[in-house]
Chains A and B, each alone.
Chain A
Amino acid sequence: MLRCLFAVMMVLCTVTQAAAQDLQSILQTHAEEVASPSRNSVGTLLDELVASGLPQVPAFLEQWSDKNVWQRDDGLFFIGIEEDDVLALRDVDSGEDSTAAADGFTQLKPNGGVRRVIATAMVQFQLLDPDLTRRETAIASIARRPEAAQLAPLLASIEDETDAALRARKIQLANILTARFGETVEVRIAAIESLSADVSVEARAVLNQILSTREGADIEQPEGNLARLLNPLEAPDTYYAKLVDADLAPAPQSPDDIRRALEANIVEGRIGDIPLVQMDDPTLRIAAYAQLADAGVVPALITPALRDAALARHVFYDLYDEPDPQITTAAQTALSSVEARVGAAQVADLTLDALSLASIFFLAAIGLAITFGVMGVINMAHGEFIMMGAYTGYVVQLFIPSYTVSIFVALPLAFAVTFGAGVVMERLVISRLYHRPLETLLATFGISIALQQIAKNIFGTQARPLTSPDWLAGAWVVNDVIQISYIRIAIFVLALLFLGVILYILRRTRLGLEVRAVTQNPGMAASMGINPDRINMLTFGLGSGIAGIAGVAIGLYAKVTSEMGADYIVQSFMTVVVGGVGNVWGTLAGATMIGFGQKGIEWLNPSNTLAAQTYMILLVILFIQFRPKGIVALKGRAAGD
C-alpha cells in the first residue's frame, strides 16, 4: 500500500520539478486557511490553486483531503505519513523525501464539509485524468452533487474524451448541468427541451429542481415567478398555521391550550361564573374561555369564523425559486412530457413484473396441475415438495462452492429427491385413498405438517440462502424505470421450458398417452395392458419432481425457509382452480390472471402488498362464481361431477 503510494508520488514529483511557480508559496499566503479551513471560505484558496495551473496541485489536494498534509511548527506544509511517531515527509513542490519526528508537526484534518468542497475542485482534474476509471469516478461524483462550477470543466472535457460511452454520459450530464446552471436563458431552455425525452431519475430530478417552489402567504399577490395560487379553505387549519408562522395572525388555541388557560384561572371553584364541575362540557369550556378573554386574562379565542376571515384576507401562493418564467414554463412542458413517458415505461415495467410473478405462480402450480388436474389427487404437501427442492439446492451449495455448477447439479437432484418423495408418498398413502378426495386432502395435510416440522428441526427456523451464480446476479436495465433482474428472466424462461416439456410429455409421449388413458378410464386402460398403478406412481412422481425444480427456482429468488411451501400452496391451488382443472393451458391462464391481477391491484394501492393479496383472493372467489370450472373449462361428461 505504502509502496504503491510512493510510486504515485514519484511520478508526480518529476512533474513538479518542471513547475515555474511554487505551491508552497501559494499555501503560505493562505496559511491560516490551509491549517484550519472552513467550508464557506476555502473556495477562494481552491480557486487560486486551480488558477495557478500547477501540476502538483491535484496530488496535493488529494493528500490534503486524505488528511496526509502536515504543518511544521515553522508554518511550512508537507505531505506526510505517520508511522510509529516517525513521519515520512515529502516536499509539496520538489517531492523530496525526508523523515522527521512527528513531534514538531501538526496534522491537518479538514472536516467533511471542506473535504467535499475539495473533492469538487479536484473533479476538474480528474475529468482529464488519463485513467478511465478515475474519469468515471469524477463523472459519478458530479452526478451525485451537481454544482455550477463543474459545468465549464465538464464541457471542456467532452471534446477530448476517447471513451464513447463515457463521452455520451458526459454530454448527458452536461445537458443536465446546463439546464440548471447555463449562462443564458436560451442555452438553458435548449438544454431543458433536450431533457424532455429522458426518463432517467437524474433528468427528472433536475427538472423538479428547476421547478422547486416555496410556499408563502401575504396580504397581496407577491412579485416574482408565480407557480400557483392556493385555496386555503381546502385545509383551513394548516393554512392558518402558516399565517401564524409568518406572524400574520395570532396563534389559535388547541383544546389543550384552552384547558391549560382554564386551569390557570380557577377562582373559588369557578371559571368566570361557570362552576368547575361543569367543565366536562366542551361548549361550556368555550364559554368560560370567552369570559376569560372578555376579562382580558387570555387572548381572544380564534373561532372557525375568525380563522376563515383571516384566511380570506390573505393570498396563499407557491413561488418558483427560478425567477425566469420562460425557463419554468419550458421545464413544466418538458416534465409533463417526461412524465408521460415515465407512465408508459411504468406500464411496461409493471407488465414485466406481472409476467415474472405469473411465471412464479405457474412454476409453483404446474406440478399441482398434474397431480390435481390430471390425476384428481389433492396434494396439500405440494408446497413442502417445493420446500424440499429449495433445501436440496441449499445443501448442494454447501458441498459445491461454484454457484454455477451447483445450480446445474441442484436442478436434477431436486427433481430426483422430490420425485422419490412423491413416489413414496403415492405408494404409501395416496394409492390407498383414490376416490376419497377429501381424505387425500387430509392425509396430505398430515404429511405437510410433519415435513414442515422436520425441515425446521434439521435446518432451523432462520432463512437459508440459495445464492444464484454471478451471471444471474444483475438486472436487465432498459432505463431508470424499466428494469428486471436476470433471475426473474431466468424463472420466466424456466416456466416456458416447463410448459413446453409438460405439453410434450402429455401429448407426444407414450407416458402421456397412458396417463390420459388412465385418467379417463382406468378399467379400460388396465385391460389394454397399461398398469394404472405404475402410471399413477409415475405421474405423481413427475408432478412432485417438477415442484422440486420449482423450489430451486423460487429459492433463488426468495429465501429458503421451512414455511416457504405453505406461502405458495393456496396461491397454487387458486391458480389451478381458476385456470380450469385438468388442463396445462388452464394453469398458464390462471397463473397469468392471478399474476397480472395481483400486480394490477398493487399498482392501484402501491403501499400495501398484503391488501393486494387479500383483494386478489376475493377476486378469485368472485371469479369462481361466474366460471366455476375455471377459464379453460371442460364441458359435459368429461368434466364429471
Chain B
Amino acid sequence: MSTLLEVSGVSVSFDGFKAINNLSIQIGEAELRAVIGPNGAGKTTFMDIVTGKTRPDEGYVIWGESSVNLLTMSESQIALAGIGRKFQRPTVFEAQTVRENIVMSLKNPRRPFDLLFGRQADDTEYRVRVVSDEIGLTDALDQTSGALSHGQKQWLEIGMLLAQDPRLLLVDEPAAGMSPAEREHTTDLLVRAAKTRAVVVVEHDMDFVRRLNCKVTVLHQGSVLAEGSLDHVTKNKDVVDVYLGR
C-alpha cells in the first residue's frame, strides 16, 4: 500500500497555545482511518492544515505519487488535487436543491467562464443519479436541501464529496446527532467509499469507530499518542489515562 498523504513534523500554535505539536501521520491509498482524541487534541486543526485552511509554523504535508507540497497550495487547488472535506456542522447550500448541490460538486471544469459558456456534459444526469442512489436521496433531488433532515444533510454532504471524486476524503464527525439507523447507513457509506479511495474519519463516538473496523490514530495535545486497531489502542495505558484518567 503506497502512501497517499504524508504529514510530518507539523506544528502550529495560536497565540502561544500549541494546537498541533510535531504531528506525523501517514495515510495510504484506499485506506479507511479513524482519528480519535479528546476535545482540543487537534483533530479539526489537523484537517484545517491538510486542506489549506491553516498554515502550520513548521513541518511538511506531502501529497500523492509526485510528492506535491500541499502547504504552497490554496484551498481550492488542494480540493482540485483530490482532497475532499466534510465539516463538523453539515454545510450544504440550503437555499438550493439537492440536485444543484450535487451538480456543483461534480468533477467538472471549475472556472467561471467554463460554467457560463461550457455545455452541460451529457452524462451529468447519470452521474448525479449514481451519487444520489449511493446516499439514498434520489427521491429528494428536486427538494430544497434546507428542507432535509439533519441526517439527510450529512449524507448529502458526503454525496457532494463523492461527486467530487476525491482520492482522499476527510470526514469530521459524520455521525453527530444521528439516529442509530442513520448511523448504520453512514457507516456503510464510508466503508464503501473507502474501497476506492482513502477516507479519514474524525469521530468521538467509540461505537461508531468500532463499526468502521479500521486502523485508529489517537491524537492527544496535538500529536499522535497511539496508532493501530481499536482494540490495540484501547488497551494502551496512555490512551486509557487520557480518556479516563482526568
Chain A–chain B contact at Cβ < 8 A: yes
Once A and B bind, how many residue pairs between them come within 8 Å at the CB atom?
11
Bound Cα distance A636, B19 (Å):
10
Bound Cα distance A97, B17 (Å):
99
Q: Does B65 contact A (CB under 8 A)?
A: no
Closest to B12 in A: A636
Closest to B14 in A: A636
Closest to A641 in B: B53
Bound Cα distance A635, B17 (Å):
11
Query: Interface readout for B4-39 with A: 1 if CB under 8 Å, 0 if not?
Result: 000000000111010100000000000000000000
Closest to A639 in B: B14
Residues in A615-641 with C-beta less than 8 Å from chain B: 634-638
Q: How many whole Å from B49's CB to the nearest CB in chain A?
A: 13
Closest to B48 in A: A637
Which of A634, A635, A637, A638 is the most central at the interface, judged by chain B CB atoms within 10 Å of its CB? A637
Q: How many whole Å from A436's CB to the nearest CB in chain B?
A: 15
Q: How many whole Å from A397's CB to the nearest CB in chain B?
A: 48
Q: How many whole Å from A212's CB to the nearest CB in chain B?
A: 65
Bound Cα distance A638, B17 (Å):
11
Q: How many whole Å from A523's CB to the nearest CB in chain B?
A: 15
Residues in B194-243 with C-beta less than 8 Å from chain A: none
Residues of B within 8 A of A638 (CB): 14-15
Residues of B within 8 A of A634 (CB): 15
Q: How many whole Å from B218's CB to the nearest CB in chain A?
A: 22
Q: How many whole Å from B12's CB to the nearest CB in chain A?
A: 8
Bound Cα distance A399, B216 (Å):
78
Bound Cα distance A634, B15 (Å):
8
Bound Cα distance A637, B18 (Å):
12
Q: How many whole Å from A387's CB to the nearest CB in chain B?
A: 38
Residues of B within 8 A of A637 (CB): 14
Residues of A within 8 A of B19 (CB): 636
Q: How many whole Å from B54's CB to the nearest CB in chain A?
A: 8
Bound Cα distance A634, B14 (Å):
9
Q: How many whole Å from A634's CB to the nearest CB in chain B?
A: 7
Q: How many whole Å from B48's CB to the nearest CB in chain A?
A: 10
Query: Interface readout for A448-489 with B: 1 if CB under 8 Å, 0 if not?
Result: 000000000000000000000000000000000000000000
Q: How many whole Å from B30's CB to the nearest CB in chain A?
A: 33
Residues in B75-117 with C-beta less than 8 Å from chain A: none
Q: How many whole Å from A511's CB to the nearest CB in chain B?
A: 24
Residues of A within 8 A of B15 (CB): 634-636, 638
Q: How many whole Å from A593's CB to the nearest CB in chain B?
A: 23
Residues of A within 8 A of B14 (CB): 635-638
Bound Cα distance A596, B19 (Å):
38
Bound Cα distance A636, B14 (Å):
5
Q: How many whole Å from B15's CB to the nearest CB in chain A?
A: 5
Q: How many whole Å from B108's CB to the nearest CB in chain A?
A: 27
Closest to A634 in B: B15
Residues of A within 8 A of B13 (CB): 636
Closest to A637 in B: B14
Closest to B17 in A: A636
Q: How many whole Å from B16's CB to the nearest CB in chain A?
A: 9
Residues of B within 8 A of A636 (CB): 13-15, 17, 19
Q: How many whole Å from A210's CB to the nearest CB in chain B?
A: 64
Q: How many whole Å from A525's CB to the nearest CB in chain B?
A: 19
Residues in A583-641 with C-beta less than 8 Å from chain B: 634-638
Q: How many whole Å from A637's CB to the nearest CB in chain B?
A: 6
Bound Cα distance A637, B19 (Å):
10
Residues of A within 8 A of B17 (CB): 636
Q: How many whole Å from A84's CB to the nearest CB in chain B?
A: 90
Query: Interface readout for A388-432 with B: 1 if CB under 8 Å, 0 if not?
Result: 000000000000000000000000000000000000000000000
Bound Cα distance A634, B16 (Å):
11
Q: How many whole Å from A147's CB to the nearest CB in chain B?
A: 72
Bound Cα distance A634, B13 (Å):
12
Residues of B within 8 A of A635 (CB): 14-15
Closest 3 CB pairs of A and B: A636-B14, A635-B15, A635-B14
Q: Can you name 8 extra interface pairs (CB under 8 A) apart from A634-B15, A636-B13, A637-B14? A: A635-B14, A635-B15, A636-B14, A636-B15, A636-B17, A636-B19, A638-B14, A638-B15
Provide a sorted-by-A list of 5 A–B residue pairs whose CB atoms are within 8 angstroms: A636-B14, A636-B15, A636-B19, A637-B14, A638-B15
